[in-house]
Amino acid sequence: MHVYASYFVLLGLFLLSKDINPIYQLLIKEKQAVTYHDTLVVKGNWLKYSSIALKSLIAIYTVVFGYLFYLNFRYDPYKQPSIPGVKALYGIYNVTEFRLNGEEIPYSPLDTVRWQIATFERWNTLTFKTAKEFPFTIRGGGGGPKSSSGTSHSSVDLEKAYEIAGVVGGRQAFHYYADTVDQVLYLQDKNYTNSLKNTRDVYPEDWISPAAWAHIGDENHRAHPRVWSTRRDRDFAKINKNIIQDKLVLKYSTTNGEKVILTGTNERLDSVYIVLDRVDRKFALSKGSFDAGYYKYE
């Protein structure tokens, strides 16, 4: 962010270089100032052709990078995961039933365990609301020095936490790997700061079996082929495995997406049984005509 802003400051200084003295006279000495510039006359064929070449280079640069920016917006949005989620689950749901270790927990806006509202995004993220606080982080949500890329933006969907950036409680976001053959979701908490408090992983190292991985596939190459890059390969190869995220393993079942039943274990290995009923939520703003991301591989 600071480098980008400094870039425009330097460009501004370059444009104002011939007007430094008039600006100084006007703003500092509060005297009348006049600015003028000589007309640049290009003489000689080499200057003429150099000017044409430079303009052509700028035009090519604008077209090429404009196209690359479009590909990024269309297939790998900066603040959205690039991997599609399970299409049958996409939607907003009320949590109509929640059982923990076989015992039903009634709805309460103050409950720190029971889910209140759940959302399956078009991409591979499940969010749900609880009355639970989390450590606040000033990270922008896109990576950081501990991420695989070591920068403020990672290509790994698990490390894209913009969905909860600046959130200190209430909404949790979990990235999931979907085994659509056995209909099982393997979820990991996207809250980096919250994960730092974990000193022991209650799930075994092979919490996703080789058979499940065979169904899930290589997440790096499940995105649209146009988003592939060597940087993406490097980021996935350097995923930080020392961070212990909270995990969930949930088997899902649904007939038409109107009702979803989740069964499995939560971050403490307690058994959970969750019933979700889809909500046809109306928004004040109409849906935009441009959609970021390409999620048609569900």
The string of pLDDT tens digits covering residues 14-38 is: 888 888 888 888 999 999 988 876 6
Above 60 in pLDDT, residue 236?
yes
In this predicted structure, the answer to whether residue 242 has a pLDDT above a threshold of 90 is no
Measured at the CA of 143, the angle between CA 86 and CA 141, to 5 degrees, comes to: 75
Averaged pLDDT for residues 224-252: 87
Q: What is the pLDDT of residues 85-121, one digit of tens each?
A: 999 999 999 999 999 999 999 999 889 999 999 999 9
Mean pLDDT rounded to a whole number for the chain? 86
Instruction: State the pLDDT at residue 144.
Output: 59
Relative to beta strand 271-279, strand 259-265 is: antiparallel
Longest alpha-carbon distance in the chain = 88
Q: Which segment, 77-91, 159-173, 177-191, is predicted with the most confidence on average? A: 177-191
Average pLDDT over residues 122-135: 89
Return the domain boundaries, the chain: 2-73, 82-279
Asked if pLDDT for residue 232 goes beyond 90, the answer is no
Which one-letter amino acid corresponds to residue 96? T
Q: Which of 21, 11, 151 lies closest to 78 in space, CA to CA?
A: 151
What pLDDT was estimated at residue 293? 84
What pLDDT does residue 66 have?
A: 92
For the record, the structure tokens of 27 come out as 């703003």
Handedness of CA 68, 73, 79, 85 (dihedral sign): negative
Q: What is the pLDDT of residue 180?
A: 93
- What's the whole-number mean pLDDT along residues 183-209? 89
Report which of residues 216 and 12 the model is more confident about: 216
> In angstroms, rounded to a whole number, what is the distance separating the alpha carbons of residues 213 and 105?
33
Asked if the model's pLDDT at residue 74 lies above 80, the reply is yes
Q: Is the pLDDT of residue 182 over 80?
A: yes
Q: Please give the Cα distance from 161 to 81 (Å, whole number).
A: 9
Q: What is the CATH number of domain 82-279?
A: 2.40.128
